[in-house]
A = this chain, B = another copy of it.
Amino acid sequence: MIVEMITGATPEEIDAVVQRAKSLELDVQLNLGTDKTVVAILGSNTGQLPTDTFAVLPGVESVTRVMKPYKLSSREFKAKDSLVTISGIEIGGKRVVVMAGPCAVESKEQLMEAARAVKEAGASILRGGAFKPRTSPFSFQGLEEVGLELLAQVREHFGIPVVTEVVDPHDVGLVAKYADVLQVGSRNMQNFALLTNIGKSKCPVVLKRGFSCTITEWLTAADYLLAEGNNQVILCERGIRTFEDSIRFSLDISAIPVIKRNSHLPVIVDPSHAAGHYSLVPAIAKAAVAAGADGLLIEVHPNPKEALVDGLQSLTPSAFARLMEELGSIAKSVGRYI
Protein backbone atom coordinates (compact mmCIF):
# COMPACT_ATOMS: atom_id res chain seq x y z
CA MET A 1 0.00 0.00 0.00
CA ILE A 2 1.45 3.35 -1.06
CA VAL A 3 0.60 6.37 1.07
CA GLU A 4 1.25 9.68 -0.63
CA MET A 5 1.50 12.61 1.79
CA ILE A 6 0.41 16.12 0.79
CA THR A 7 3.09 18.63 -0.15
CA GLY A 8 4.20 20.14 3.13
CA ALA A 9 3.09 17.28 5.37
CA THR A 10 4.67 17.66 8.82
CA PRO A 11 7.05 15.13 10.37
CA GLU A 12 4.33 14.39 12.95
CA GLU A 13 1.83 13.55 10.22
CA ILE A 14 4.31 11.27 8.51
CA ASP A 15 5.12 9.64 11.82
CA ALA A 16 1.45 8.94 12.54
CA VAL A 17 1.26 6.94 9.29
CA VAL A 18 4.37 5.01 10.22
CA GLN A 19 3.08 4.28 13.72
CA ARG A 20 -0.27 3.03 12.47
CA ALA A 21 1.47 0.67 10.04
CA LYS A 22 3.71 -0.62 12.80
CA SER A 23 0.73 -1.15 15.11
CA LEU A 24 -0.65 -3.46 12.41
CA GLU A 25 2.70 -5.27 12.28
CA LEU A 26 3.44 -4.06 8.78
CA ASP A 27 6.80 -2.98 7.42
CA VAL A 28 7.30 0.60 6.37
CA GLN A 29 9.70 2.31 4.03
CA LEU A 30 9.91 6.07 3.70
CA ASN A 31 10.53 7.70 0.31
CA LEU A 32 11.47 11.32 0.80
CA GLY A 33 11.02 13.00 -2.57
CA THR A 34 11.89 16.57 -3.30
CA ASP A 35 8.23 17.59 -3.35
CA LYS A 36 6.42 14.88 -1.48
CA THR A 37 6.93 12.09 0.96
CA VAL A 38 5.66 8.70 -0.05
CA VAL A 39 5.31 5.93 2.52
CA ALA A 40 5.38 2.33 1.31
CA ILE A 41 3.49 -0.06 3.59
CA LEU A 42 4.69 -3.61 3.03
CA GLY A 43 3.36 -6.98 4.11
CA SER A 44 1.61 -9.93 2.55
CA ASN A 45 -1.90 -9.09 3.77
CA THR A 46 -2.13 -5.43 2.82
CA GLY A 47 -4.56 -6.38 0.04
CA GLN A 48 -7.20 -7.19 2.64
CA LEU A 49 -6.63 -3.95 4.56
CA PRO A 50 -9.02 -1.06 3.75
CA THR A 51 -7.21 1.93 2.22
CA ASP A 52 -9.15 4.10 4.68
CA THR A 53 -6.88 2.79 7.43
CA PHE A 54 -4.33 5.33 6.27
CA ALA A 55 -6.41 7.71 4.15
CA VAL A 56 -8.20 9.09 7.23
CA LEU A 57 -4.97 10.31 8.82
CA PRO A 58 -4.13 14.03 8.58
CA GLY A 59 -1.65 15.01 5.88
CA VAL A 60 -2.43 12.03 3.66
CA GLU A 61 -3.25 12.90 0.04
CA SER A 62 -4.01 9.49 -1.36
CA VAL A 63 -3.55 5.78 -0.74
CA THR A 64 -2.94 3.32 -3.57
CA ARG A 65 -3.12 -0.45 -3.34
CA VAL A 66 -0.27 -2.53 -4.66
CA MET A 67 -1.73 -5.88 -3.57
CA LYS A 68 -5.12 -6.80 -5.02
CA PRO A 69 -8.08 -6.89 -2.59
CA TYR A 70 -8.93 -10.46 -3.59
CA LYS A 71 -6.74 -13.30 -2.49
CA LEU A 72 -8.05 -16.88 -2.78
CA SER A 73 -9.20 -16.44 -6.38
CA SER A 74 -5.91 -14.86 -7.48
CA ARG A 75 -3.32 -16.41 -9.76
CA GLU A 76 -0.71 -15.38 -7.18
CA PHE A 77 -2.42 -17.51 -4.53
CA LYS A 78 -2.71 -20.51 -6.85
CA ALA A 79 -0.65 -20.52 -10.02
CA LYS A 80 -2.23 -23.56 -11.69
CA ASP A 81 -5.59 -23.41 -13.48
CA SER A 82 -8.46 -24.78 -11.40
CA LEU A 83 -10.68 -27.42 -12.95
CA VAL A 84 -14.32 -27.77 -11.93
CA THR A 85 -15.81 -31.21 -12.51
CA ILE A 86 -19.56 -31.68 -12.98
CA SER A 87 -20.74 -35.26 -13.39
CA GLY A 88 -17.46 -36.10 -15.08
CA ILE A 89 -17.38 -33.00 -17.31
CA GLU A 90 -14.31 -30.87 -16.71
CA ILE A 91 -14.58 -27.10 -17.00
CA GLY A 92 -11.31 -25.25 -17.43
CA GLY A 93 -9.57 -27.91 -19.50
CA LYS A 94 -9.18 -28.46 -23.24
CA ARG A 95 -12.89 -28.83 -23.82
CA VAL A 96 -15.06 -25.77 -24.31
CA VAL A 97 -18.18 -26.74 -22.35
CA VAL A 98 -21.53 -25.53 -23.65
CA MET A 99 -24.48 -25.13 -21.27
CA ALA A 100 -27.73 -24.46 -23.09
CA GLY A 101 -31.46 -24.43 -22.60
CA PRO A 102 -34.40 -22.13 -21.98
CA CYS A 103 -34.26 -19.04 -19.78
CA ALA A 104 -37.17 -20.29 -17.69
CA VAL A 105 -38.63 -23.74 -17.15
CA GLU A 106 -42.18 -23.40 -18.41
CA SER A 107 -43.51 -26.96 -18.72
CA LYS A 108 -42.33 -30.55 -19.00
CA GLU A 109 -42.92 -30.56 -22.75
CA GLN A 110 -40.93 -27.37 -23.29
CA LEU A 111 -38.02 -28.57 -21.17
CA MET A 112 -37.94 -32.06 -22.74
CA GLU A 113 -37.90 -30.59 -26.21
CA ALA A 114 -35.17 -28.09 -25.31
CA ALA A 115 -33.05 -30.77 -23.61
CA ARG A 116 -33.30 -33.09 -26.60
CA ALA A 117 -32.32 -30.32 -29.00
CA VAL A 118 -29.34 -29.00 -27.08
CA LYS A 119 -28.03 -32.48 -26.30
CA GLU A 120 -28.24 -33.52 -29.92
CA ALA A 121 -26.40 -30.39 -31.00
CA GLY A 122 -23.57 -31.14 -28.58
CA ALA A 123 -24.29 -29.19 -25.39
CA SER A 124 -23.04 -30.91 -22.23
CA ILE A 125 -25.17 -29.24 -19.57
CA LEU A 126 -28.82 -28.17 -19.56
CA ARG A 127 -29.77 -24.75 -18.25
CA GLY A 128 -33.23 -23.69 -17.09
CA GLY A 129 -34.50 -21.23 -14.47
CA ALA A 130 -37.02 -22.18 -11.80
CA PHE A 131 -36.60 -19.08 -9.63
CA LYS A 132 -36.60 -16.00 -11.85
CA PRO A 133 -35.53 -12.62 -10.44
CA ARG A 134 -37.55 -10.16 -12.53
CA THR A 135 -37.20 -6.41 -12.60
CA SER A 136 -40.98 -5.95 -12.43
CA PRO A 137 -43.28 -7.52 -9.82
CA PHE A 138 -45.88 -7.91 -12.54
CA SER A 139 -43.76 -10.34 -14.64
CA PHE A 140 -43.74 -14.16 -14.53
CA GLN A 141 -41.54 -15.19 -11.57
CA GLY A 142 -40.82 -18.82 -12.45
CA LEU A 143 -42.32 -22.19 -11.49
CA GLU A 144 -40.14 -22.38 -8.35
CA GLU A 145 -40.04 -25.84 -6.75
CA VAL A 146 -42.23 -27.34 -9.46
CA GLY A 147 -39.63 -26.13 -11.96
CA LEU A 148 -36.85 -27.79 -9.96
CA GLU A 149 -38.71 -31.08 -10.08
CA LEU A 150 -39.11 -30.84 -13.83
CA LEU A 151 -35.38 -30.18 -14.17
CA ALA A 152 -34.64 -33.29 -12.12
CA GLN A 153 -36.95 -35.42 -14.26
CA VAL A 154 -35.45 -34.21 -17.50
CA ARG A 155 -31.93 -34.65 -16.17
CA GLU A 156 -32.77 -38.26 -15.34
CA HIS A 157 -34.36 -38.88 -18.71
CA PHE A 158 -31.50 -37.53 -20.82
CA GLY A 159 -28.60 -38.16 -18.45
CA ILE A 160 -27.54 -34.51 -18.77
CA PRO A 161 -26.50 -32.46 -15.73
CA VAL A 162 -28.44 -29.24 -15.02
CA VAL A 163 -27.57 -25.72 -13.92
CA THR A 164 -30.19 -23.46 -12.34
CA GLU A 165 -30.30 -20.21 -10.42
CA VAL A 166 -30.76 -19.76 -6.69
CA VAL A 167 -31.87 -16.35 -5.43
CA ASP A 168 -32.66 -16.72 -1.72
CA PRO A 169 -29.88 -17.69 0.73
CA HIS A 170 -32.33 -20.02 2.46
CA ASP A 171 -33.06 -21.97 -0.72
CA VAL A 172 -29.49 -23.13 -1.32
CA GLY A 173 -30.06 -26.57 0.21
CA LEU A 174 -33.30 -27.04 -1.68
CA VAL A 175 -31.89 -26.09 -5.08
CA ALA A 176 -28.70 -28.09 -4.53
CA LYS A 177 -30.86 -31.21 -4.05
CA TYR A 178 -32.13 -30.93 -7.62
CA ALA A 179 -29.29 -29.25 -9.52
CA ASP A 180 -25.73 -30.21 -10.42
CA VAL A 181 -24.56 -26.61 -10.61
CA LEU A 182 -25.98 -23.56 -8.85
CA GLN A 183 -26.07 -20.24 -10.63
CA VAL A 184 -25.67 -16.85 -8.95
CA GLY A 185 -27.28 -14.22 -11.13
CA SER A 186 -25.77 -10.88 -12.05
CA ARG A 187 -27.97 -8.94 -9.62
CA ASN A 188 -26.86 -11.22 -6.77
CA MET A 189 -23.10 -11.15 -7.32
CA GLN A 190 -22.76 -9.07 -4.18
CA ASN A 191 -25.54 -10.78 -2.21
CA PHE A 192 -23.07 -11.88 0.43
CA ALA A 193 -25.56 -13.89 2.48
CA LEU A 194 -26.28 -15.97 -0.63
CA LEU A 195 -22.59 -16.38 -1.47
CA THR A 196 -21.75 -17.52 2.05
CA ASN A 197 -24.45 -20.18 2.02
CA ILE A 198 -23.41 -21.48 -1.38
CA GLY A 199 -19.82 -21.50 -0.17
CA LYS A 200 -20.86 -23.73 2.71
CA SER A 201 -22.83 -26.05 0.41
CA LYS A 202 -19.68 -26.98 -1.54
CA CYS A 203 -21.92 -27.33 -4.62
CA PRO A 204 -20.39 -26.32 -7.99
CA VAL A 205 -21.43 -22.79 -8.81
CA VAL A 206 -21.51 -20.40 -11.78
CA LEU A 207 -20.87 -16.88 -10.46
CA LYS A 208 -22.18 -14.36 -12.97
CA ARG A 209 -20.52 -10.99 -13.04
CA GLY A 210 -22.57 -8.10 -11.69
CA PHE A 211 -23.41 -6.01 -14.71
CA SER A 212 -21.69 -3.00 -13.21
CA CYS A 213 -19.00 -4.68 -11.17
CA THR A 214 -15.31 -4.49 -11.97
CA ILE A 215 -13.31 -7.65 -12.46
CA THR A 216 -11.62 -6.91 -9.13
CA GLU A 217 -15.01 -6.84 -7.36
CA TRP A 218 -16.01 -10.03 -9.15
CA LEU A 219 -12.92 -11.90 -7.97
CA THR A 220 -13.43 -10.49 -4.47
CA ALA A 221 -16.97 -11.88 -4.52
CA ALA A 222 -15.52 -15.24 -5.60
CA ASP A 223 -13.42 -15.07 -2.45
CA TYR A 224 -16.65 -15.32 -0.43
CA LEU A 225 -17.28 -18.73 -2.00
CA LEU A 226 -13.69 -19.91 -1.72
CA ALA A 227 -13.31 -18.69 1.86
CA GLU A 228 -16.05 -21.15 2.89
CA GLY A 229 -14.11 -23.99 1.29
CA ASN A 230 -16.04 -24.26 -1.98
CA ASN A 231 -13.46 -24.57 -4.77
CA GLN A 232 -15.96 -25.47 -7.47
CA VAL A 233 -16.30 -21.92 -8.77
CA ILE A 234 -16.89 -21.02 -12.44
CA LEU A 235 -16.95 -17.34 -13.41
CA CYS A 236 -19.40 -16.15 -16.07
CA GLU A 237 -19.07 -12.91 -18.04
CA ARG A 238 -22.51 -11.77 -19.24
CA GLY A 239 -22.10 -8.17 -20.33
CA ILE A 240 -21.69 -4.89 -18.53
CA ARG A 241 -23.74 -1.74 -18.49
CA THR A 242 -22.35 0.99 -20.72
CA PHE A 243 -23.73 4.01 -22.59
CA GLU A 244 -24.17 2.00 -25.80
CA ASP A 245 -27.86 1.43 -26.49
CA SER A 246 -27.88 -0.90 -29.49
CA ILE A 247 -27.47 -3.91 -27.21
CA ARG A 248 -28.80 -4.77 -23.76
CA PHE A 249 -25.36 -5.12 -22.14
CA SER A 250 -21.92 -4.71 -23.75
CA LEU A 251 -20.06 -7.98 -23.54
CA ASP A 252 -16.65 -7.31 -22.01
CA ILE A 253 -14.54 -9.54 -24.24
CA SER A 254 -11.33 -8.43 -22.53
CA ALA A 255 -12.59 -9.92 -19.27
CA ILE A 256 -11.50 -13.31 -20.59
CA PRO A 257 -7.77 -12.61 -20.98
CA VAL A 258 -7.78 -10.43 -17.85
CA ILE A 259 -9.31 -13.27 -15.76
CA LYS A 260 -6.86 -15.76 -17.26
CA ARG A 261 -3.97 -13.55 -16.19
CA ASN A 262 -5.19 -12.67 -12.70
CA SER A 263 -7.11 -15.75 -11.57
CA HIS A 264 -6.91 -19.54 -11.66
CA LEU A 265 -10.68 -19.97 -11.98
CA PRO A 266 -12.37 -21.06 -15.21
CA VAL A 267 -14.44 -18.43 -17.02
CA ILE A 268 -17.40 -18.94 -19.34
CA VAL A 269 -19.48 -16.44 -21.34
CA ASP A 270 -23.23 -15.89 -21.61
CA PRO A 271 -23.78 -14.19 -24.98
CA SER A 272 -27.58 -14.34 -24.71
CA HIS A 273 -28.10 -11.99 -21.76
CA ALA A 274 -25.52 -9.58 -23.12
CA ALA A 275 -27.06 -9.45 -26.58
CA GLY A 276 -30.72 -9.37 -25.66
CA HIS A 277 -31.39 -10.26 -29.30
CA TYR A 278 -30.90 -13.62 -30.98
CA SER A 279 -29.29 -12.09 -34.07
CA LEU A 280 -26.24 -10.94 -32.08
CA VAL A 281 -25.67 -14.18 -30.14
CA PRO A 282 -23.61 -16.14 -32.71
CA ALA A 283 -20.98 -13.41 -33.28
CA ILE A 284 -20.48 -12.93 -29.55
CA ALA A 285 -20.33 -16.66 -28.86
CA LYS A 286 -17.69 -17.15 -31.55
CA ALA A 287 -15.66 -14.22 -30.24
CA ALA A 288 -15.76 -15.66 -26.73
CA VAL A 289 -14.33 -19.00 -27.81
CA ALA A 290 -11.65 -17.28 -29.90
CA ALA A 291 -10.68 -15.14 -26.91
CA GLY A 292 -10.18 -18.20 -24.72
CA ALA A 293 -13.44 -18.76 -22.81
CA ASP A 294 -13.74 -22.16 -21.10
CA GLY A 295 -17.40 -22.48 -21.94
CA LEU A 296 -20.65 -20.84 -22.99
CA LEU A 297 -24.09 -20.45 -21.45
CA ILE A 298 -26.60 -20.04 -24.27
CA GLU A 299 -30.37 -19.67 -24.27
CA VAL A 300 -32.20 -22.06 -26.57
CA HIS A 301 -35.99 -22.35 -26.68
CA PRO A 302 -38.00 -24.79 -28.80
CA ASN A 303 -40.35 -21.95 -29.74
CA PRO A 304 -38.94 -18.52 -28.89
CA LYS A 305 -42.08 -16.78 -30.13
CA GLU A 306 -44.06 -18.33 -27.29
CA ALA A 307 -41.40 -18.07 -24.56
CA LEU A 308 -42.64 -16.64 -21.26
CA VAL A 309 -39.27 -14.97 -20.54
CA ASP A 310 -36.56 -13.50 -22.78
CA GLY A 311 -37.76 -15.12 -25.99
CA LEU A 312 -36.02 -12.46 -28.05
CA GLN A 313 -32.55 -13.58 -27.00
CA SER A 314 -33.22 -17.31 -27.41
CA LEU A 315 -31.92 -19.30 -30.34
CA THR A 316 -34.12 -21.83 -32.04
CA PRO A 317 -32.83 -25.43 -31.94
CA SER A 318 -31.78 -25.22 -35.57
CA ALA A 319 -29.91 -21.92 -35.15
CA PHE A 320 -28.17 -23.42 -32.12
CA ALA A 321 -27.14 -26.51 -34.05
CA ARG A 322 -25.64 -24.36 -36.81
CA LEU A 323 -23.77 -22.26 -34.26
CA MET A 324 -22.34 -25.35 -32.55
CA GLU A 325 -20.71 -26.39 -35.80
CA GLU A 326 -19.02 -23.05 -36.27
CA LEU A 327 -17.91 -23.01 -32.65
CA GLY A 328 -16.27 -26.39 -33.07
CA SER A 329 -14.13 -25.03 -35.86
CA ILE A 330 -13.09 -21.96 -33.88
CA ALA A 331 -12.32 -24.04 -30.80
CA LYS A 332 -9.97 -26.10 -32.94
CA SER A 333 -8.20 -22.93 -34.16
CA VAL A 334 -7.28 -22.11 -30.57
CA GLY A 335 -6.21 -25.63 -29.66
CA ARG A 336 -9.42 -26.83 -28.02
CA TYR A 337 -12.54 -28.79 -28.87
CA ILE A 338 -16.26 -28.72 -28.04
Contact = CB atoms under 8 A, between A and B. Distances in A.
Interface in A90-144: 133-139
A192 B290 contact: no
A257 B284 contact: yes
Contacts of A245: 214, 216, 245
Contacts of A291: 283-284, 286-287, 290
Given A42-B38, A214-B244, A168 B187 contact: no
A155 B48 CA distance: 34
A27 B33 contact: yes
A307 B67 CA distance: 22
B220 A136 contact: yes
A16 to B, nearest CB: 9
Contacts of A287: 253, 287-288, 290-291
Interface in A58-91: 62, 64, 66-67, 69-71, 76
A321 interface: no
A329 to B, nearest CB: 4
Contact of A64 (B64, B244, B274, B305): B64
The secondary-structure label for the interface of chain A is mixed
Nearest to A70: B136
Contacts of A149: none
A325 to B, nearest CB: 10
Contact of A134 (B70, B192, B247): B192
Q: Which of A56, A190, A227, A241 has the most CB of B within 10 A?
A: A56
B211 A192 contact: no
A9 interface: no
Interface in A30-65: 31-36, 38, 40, 42-44, 48, 50-52, 55-57, 62, 64
A261 interface: yes
B133 A284 contact: no
B193 A168 contact: yes
Nearest to A139: B50
A137 B198 CA distance: 14
25 contacts: A2-B64, A29-B29, A33-B43, A34-B42, A35-B67, A38-B66, A40-B40, A50-B139, A52-B307, A52-B310, A64-B66, A133-B190, A135-B217, A135-B221, A137-B196, A138-B223, A212-B212, A216-B245, A244-B252, A247-B258, A254-B280, A257-B280, A287-B287, A289-B290, A326-B333
Interface of A: 2, 4, 7, 27, 29, 31-36, 38, 40, 42-44, 48, 50-52, 55-57, 62, 64, 66-67, 69-71, 76, 133-139, 167-170, 187-188, 190-193, 196, 211-212, 214-217, 220-221, 223-224, 227, 240-247, 250-258, 261-262, 274-275, 277, 279-280, 282-284, 286-292, 304-305, 307, 309-312, 326, 329-330, 332-334
Given A2-B38, A71-B138, A242-B242, 19 more contacts: A27-B34, A50-B139, A50-B309, A56-B307, A135-B220, A135-B221, A136-B220, A137-B192, A169-B170, A191-B191, A212-B243, A214-B245, A240-B243, A242-B243, A250-B252, A257-B282, A283-B292, A326-B333, A329-B333
